[in-house]
Amino acid sequence: MFDEESSEPLTNSDTNNATKFHPDDATYESRTRLDGTATFEQHYTRLRSHNDGIYTGKWADKAQLRDQDNNAVFDAIAGQLELSPFQKAIGRTEFGTLNLRDLSSPAGIDTPLVAIMVAAVVARRDGRGYHPARSPASNDDLFTALLSELGYTNGLVHSAFGKVQYRLDCSQ
């Protein structure tokens, strides 16, 4: 039932900073804007960034940008490893709790490797087996194929898996 005291949901923006689209933008002939942006696409991209809270004027929230980039890496890895939506949600949350700077090493532990190891720990809880100490024949094929394709050494994978598993197990 519609509540007369509240605003109509279709007319309100779902962001804090409402962006209004003008119907003439779709048919504007010169496709350039007077506010300094070259195209309407750039204009609305900038407004979306402001609405997301990433950009405030000329400055960017670097921590939020880094989190977005890291989440994109984890989402790509989760898709490649065919994690279930539940595993992906749990893995993304746990990946966000890790301090990637503490896990990194000069030997090559980087963000994609940490994302793969988080996915391995999360998938293992649901019975999907991957552990770097097991033989490739007894491990999950998607994990072994991805790790071999990315060229990580066995020692590096062992180290990363141990670090990630320890931190995730301690946080529970």
Q: Which domain holds residue 142?
A: 62-171
Task: Say if 31 falls within a structural domain.
Answer: yes
Which of 8, 43, 60 terminates a domain? The answer is: 60
**pLDDT confidence band for 1 (50 / 70 / 90):** very low
pLDDT in tens, 101-125: 888 877 678 899 999 999 999 998 8
> Structural domain tally of the chain?
2
Please name the helix (run of DSSP H) or strand (run of DSSP E) that holds residue 56, with its range, or none. Answer: strand 55-56
pLDDT at 132 over 50: yes
Q: What is the CATH number of the domain that holds 90?
A: 1.10.472
pLDDT in tens, 32-89: 566 666 677 777 777 777 777 777 767 777 888 888 889 999 999 999 999 999 999 9
CA 147 – CA 89 distance, rounded (Å): 22
Task: Say if 92 falls within a structural domain.
Answer: yes
CA 30 – CA 50 distance, rounded (Å): 25
